[in-house]
Amino acid sequence: MKKRVSTLILLSILALVSCKKEEKKVVEKKQESVKVFEPNWESIKKHYKDPAWFNNKKFGIFIHWGAYSVPAFGSEWYPRNMYMDSAQFTAQLKHQKDGPTKEFLHHQKNFGDQKKFGYKDFIPMFKAEKFNAEEWIDLFKKAGAKYVVPVADHHDGFAMYKSNTTRWNSVNMGPKRDVLGELMKAGRAKGMIMGASSHYAFNWSFYNKKDKFDTTDPAYADLYSPKGKNLREPVSAEFKEMWWKRTKDLIDNYQPDILWFDFMLDTPDFREYRPKLAAYYYNKGIEWGKEVVLQDKNFYEEAFPAGTVIYDLERGKLPGIRKLPWQTDTSIGTNSWSYVTNWKSKTTNSLIDDLIDIVSKNGNLLLNVGPKSDGTIPDDQKDILLEMGAWLDMNGDAIYDTKYWRTFGEGPTEVKKGHHSEGKNKAFTGQDIRFTQKDGKVYAILMAWPKNGKVLIKSITNGDKVKSVKMLGTDAKIKWSQNNNGLEAVMPKKKPCDYAFVLELSL
């Protein structure tokens, strides 16, 4: 009897060991199977396809929030400019002008000497005591946004999440909360697509290094970067490897649906890491069972070949249709991405017009908000988001899940092309029309109310068999006619909303 029991126990152990080995083989096989992408452009071009879901969402929210919101002066570049005492330099390290920056003077006047009170000393002041992730997400949903991209790592080197690679993070210091994690959890619980952005590559040359500042203190080299005093010192192999570990940590632990990168990654210094990053992230997406979106600006050079990432334009648009999906990222604020006390907001009308113009050209809009250091979103920004949401509640059929039409639009107002070009654009008029299409319908979006109460849509030809015309947001019947000149429609007596106006043409 004892022998039989011993035999049964032994057989059970052997079966368990065998089962564990089989499970291990299955896991290893699964891991091998997800490595579809190899870290070279040939492999990535062969296997990559732009996720259709991203192009359908159209509108997302960007969030610039960090310790730089404590001084709330200048912009999110306060940490850099507060150390520029004798000259000012661009991100590309081009000399702009001599003399101290306004941030340097402001800091000395309000906080004292930069050796005694450096940027690091703002971090304990960054309490985020009123931050409520669910309230933020509720606001973004009411705004009509479908995805959210919080800044995870900015140039300043302070991680807004539970980092396993740096002590300078929001769980260890400042808020002592996993800001990114809380937003991810709240957003996903309410059906939002959740991403993250990394601006950390520029940390290498972000801070000015002089002995009279705390930026040269080796005790803080893991915040201010290990670069020496030479402003143009090449990025070290050690820093790039640190950047890579930090990026992998962000990917592995938060599984972002969207991963957005700022400039510096698109410089020659990081050339070797770009295909490595794309392959790693895309393979992770397969492992997680979802299509992920990688975004880059291709600012310095074509860092990511066309058709391997979603192209992003900062504070700029395209003059025409791009058949591959793309995105504009811009801020509600004209003068800053992070909250500053003299924040100047754009108008709701201009932002809705931007959204329409971008969508008509096959793009998405990622619109930035700048919360205060305590975690509240200022009322003027809230009001704009809610006004955009009200417009989308009424006119969203012309935006969400639409495709570009045979022409993006018509009218006299031209749009400038490229990064940082938005300031050169003029306001749209009543003669400017943008088009989208969906399910056998063409949406003609009037960017302003026509002065004489009539509109002629020249892009509608005799070959377009229009069955009916209605305006979204009103039950009023639209008088219309079609001839060789196009389609003419008479506006209803009452405007259905305050901004752009949508005519739905059933073909």
pLDDT for 269: 95
Mean per-residue pLDDT over the chain, rounded: 93
Q: How many residues does the chain have?
A: 507
Question: What does the block give as tokens for 384?
Answer: 């704009």
Sequence-distant (≥ 6) Cβ neighbours of residue 52 within 8 angstroms: none
User: What's the pLDDT at 93?
Assistant: 86
| Beta strand pairing call for 310-314 and 293-296 | parallel
Q: Could you tell me the two tokens for 19?
A: 């089962």
pLDDT in tens, 482-498: 999 999 999 999 999 99
Closest by CA position to 270, among listed 301, 311, 227, 248: 301
How far apart CA 476 and CA 467 sit, in angstroms, is 17
Cα 275 to Cα 47: distance, rounded to the nearest angstrom: 13
Given a cut of 60, whether residue 309 has pLDDT beyond it is yes
DSSP labels, 464-483 = S---EEEETT--PPPEEEEE
The Cα–Cα gap between 239 and 250 comes to: 16
pLDDT in the model for residue 15: 55
432 touches 356 (CB < 8 A): no
Tell me the H-state helices in 339-423: 348-360, 379-395
Answer for the pair 91, 263: CB distance below 8 angstroms, yes or no.
yes
User: Amino acid identity of 353?
Assistant: D
Q: For 330, phi and psi rounded to 5 degrees?
A: -150, 170
Residue bearing tokens 């790693």 = 280
**Is the per-residue pLDDT at 40 higher than 70?**
yes
Mean pLDDT confidence for 452-476:
95
Name the token pair of 458.
Answer: 């020249």
pLDDT digits (tens, 9 = 90+) for 240-298: 999 999 999 999 999 999 999 999 999 999 999 999 999 999 999 999 999 999 999 98
Structure tokens at 349: 């009308």
Note the pLDDT of residue 28.
45
Give 16-31 as a DSSP string.
HHHHHHHHHHHHHHHH
pLDDT digits (tens, 9 = 90+) for 332-372: 999 999 999 999 999 999 999 999 999 999 999 999 999 99
Alpha carbon distances (Å) from 260 to 169, 202, 278: 19, 14, 12
Q: What's the farthest any 2 CA atoms get from each other in the chain?
A: 102
Band of pLDDT at residue 105, cut at 50, 70 and 90: very high
* pLDDT confidence bin for 21, thresholds 50/70/90: low
Instruction: Identify the pLDDT of residue 25.
Output: 52
pLDDT tens per residue, range 184-223: 999 999 999 999 999 999 999 999 999 999 999 999 999 9
Q: What is the DSSP string of 347-364?
A: PHHHHHHHHHHHHHTTEE
Q: What is the CA radius of gyration of the chain?
A: 26
Residue 30 pLDDT exceeds 80: no
390 — phi, psi (to 5°)?
A: -65, -40
SS3 of residue 424 by DSSP: helix
For the segment 146-175, the average pLDDT, to the nearest whole number, is: 98
- The half-sphere exposure of 94 on its side-chain side, counting CA atoms within 13 A, is 3
Using DSSP, state whether 129 is helix, strand or coil.
Answer: coil
pLDDT digits (tens, 9 = 90+) for 426-445: 888 878 999 999 999 999 99
* pTM for this entry: 0.93
Residue 382, both tokens: 């809230």
Report pLDDT for 20: 56
End-to-end alpha-carbon separation of the chain, Å?
A: 84
Residue 398, pLDDT > 50, answer yes
CA dihedral 181, 369, 75, 185 (to 10 degrees): 0
Transcribe 409-424 into DSSP letters: EESS----BSTT-GGG
Q: Which amino acid is at 126?
A: F
Compare 195 and 32 and report the one with higher pLDDT: 195
